[in-house]
Amino acid sequence: MIVRGVLSVAIFFSSTTFAFVLPRSHSHPVTSKRFSSSSDTADSTKLETDVKNLKRVLAREYATFFNPMETQYYAKDVSFTDPMTSLSGVESYQNNVDMLASRTLMGKILFSDAGIVLHNVSGGEISEDGKTIGDIQTRWTLRLTAKILPWKPTARFSGISVYKVKPDPSSSTGVTIKHQTDYWDSINIVPNTGGEYATVDKGIAIKDFLDQLSPGGFQAQSAAPELPYQLLRRGDGYEVRRYPSFTGAQLPYRRRDEGFGSLGAFTKGMNALSPALMEVQKDDISDKYMMWPLTFAPPGETEPPMNKDALENAGQGQWRTMKVKVNPARVVAVREFSDASMEPVVRKADRELREFLERDGLKTAENTENMVRFAQYDAIFSMGKRRGEVWIDLSDDGHPFN
């Protein structure tokens, strides 16, 4: 019965997942012909304005979780396709979105904490003859909690959506959405294509969803509240996250238990955060460093607040090797592992992550190949399933989330 109930949740949810495919061809921007009439130029200018308005509408719909959905921009017979299902008609789509957002009775029973974050909107170039509009693409991250299950798991998806749009001079909007296709980063990125997307069997999509709803078992106790981040991609074997600028107490160490002990004593009363971040150079000769995050930049700010006690004590007396380091905001690729953070485990995870990034067309930042950075979230001698990760910074031009 649990399996049947979970599958029902998957079917309900599938109609509301927002993903999209990267277009494989690109339209050219509008260029004026030497002998074009003034009416043609006026029509092209109006169409450009209408497309810009549509992109703003899409951004607004995502920001409000489609409440309201601006149905005047959608064709009555608009069709929607995602990795698990397809449907047609504005009313069908809106009903499923409202259920996912717990705005219907069924939605209130099944889900909670649903939300979608829009990362960017692109595309919509107009052809030279002004008769066709290139695909509009949105990139997003979606989450929801299946509260109908006793352990209340949270499922997360990231992907792109491609909107097929046509000029519609007879409508008040000037343009109309005819079709939307959704793709997930976790299953639809084609290996070694630079990040292109393609359809897969629906069974793969259902399994991807159900795997996220499975009980996680006994988890090791977290050492502290976690440094916040924004999930940009839930990929196949890795995640991409955006971290805010943060400060951390850092020291060189030889044994990890000694590093934990020293940082625990130094940060007593400072409300340090997790994870503990370790950096190890690949030459095995240089010092190893451990850092505990202390403060982070709040939303809308670029600089984190400084902890006065940490600044006053670092570098003094018994803390002469301790430093307070300011870490800039960054986009980080992450691969999780559950075994103890021993050197073979960490280095294997690092190698695998680099292979996944190359496979999916993501580029690492300079000099990251010379070190291994890994994170430990649980207390050093805790029991249960551990949570460890390897982190690799991505270059500013090495990912699509700018």
Domain ranges of the chain: 2-213, 230-393
What separation in angstroms does the CA of 96 have from each of 36, 82, 90, 103, 313? 46, 13, 10, 10, 56
pLDDT at 381: 64
pLDDT at 346: 95
What separation in angstroms does the CA of 128 have from each of 33, 132, 140? 8, 9, 30
pLDDT at 33: 39
Q: How far apart are CA 271 and CA 357, in angstroms?
A: 34
- For residue 67, give both structure tokens: 């409440």
Q: Are 159 and 182 in contact (CB under 8 A)?
A: yes
Which CATH architecture describes the domain 2-213? Roll (3.10)
DSSP run (H or E) holding 299: none
pLDDT at 84: 93
Q: Which residues, including other chains, have CB under 8 Å from residue 55's CB and lie 6 or more apart?
A: 121, 124, 136
- Sheet strands (E) in 24-96: 74-81, 86-88
Q: How far apart are CA 64 and CA 251, in angstroms?
A: 44
DSSP per-residue codes, 182-246: EEETTT-BPTTTTS-B----HHHHHHHHHHHHS---SBPPBSSPBPP-EEEEE-SS-EEEEEPPE
pTM: 0.87
- For residue 126, give both structure tokens: 């107009």
Q: What sign has the CA pseudo-torsion 137, 391, 393, 195?
A: negative
Q: How far apart are CA 292 and CA 304, in angstroms?
A: 14
Specify the 3-state DSSP secondary structure of 73. Answer: helix
Q: How far apart are CA 183 and CA 144, in angstroms?
A: 17
Q: Are 228 and 319 in contact (CB under 8 A)?
A: no
pLDDT at 18: 37
Kindly compute the dihedral angle of the four CA atoms of residues 264, 265, 267, 273, in this order, to the nearest 10 degrees.
Answer: 10
Q: How far apart are the first and last CA of the chain?
A: 44
- For residue 15, give both structure tokens: 């109609």
- In tens digits, what is the pLDDT along the chain, a chain of 402 residues? 333 333 334 444 444 433 333 333 333 333 333 444 566 666 788 999 999 999 999 999 999 999 999 999 999 999 999 999 899 999 998 998 999 999 999 999 999 999 999 999 999 999 999 899 999 999 999 999 999 999 999 999 999 999 999 999 999 999 999 999 999 999 999 999 999 999 999 999 999 999 999 987 556 567 689 999 999 999 999 999 999 999 999 999 999 999 999 999 999 999 999 999 999 988 766 789 999 999 999 999 999 999 999 999 999 999 999 999 999 999 999 999 988 888 899 999 999 999 999 999 999 999 899 999 999 998 766 666 789 999 999 999 999 998
Q: Which residues, including other chains, have CB under 8 Å from residue 369's CB and lie 6 or more apart?
A: 282, 354
Specify the 3-state DSSP secondary structure of 10. Answer: helix
Q: What fold characterizes domain 230-393?
A: Multidrug-efflux Transporter 1 Regulator Bmrr; Chain A (3.20.80)
pLDDT at 218: 55
Question: Exposed (0-12), middle (13-18) or buried (19+): which is 193, by Cβ within 10 Å?
Answer: middle
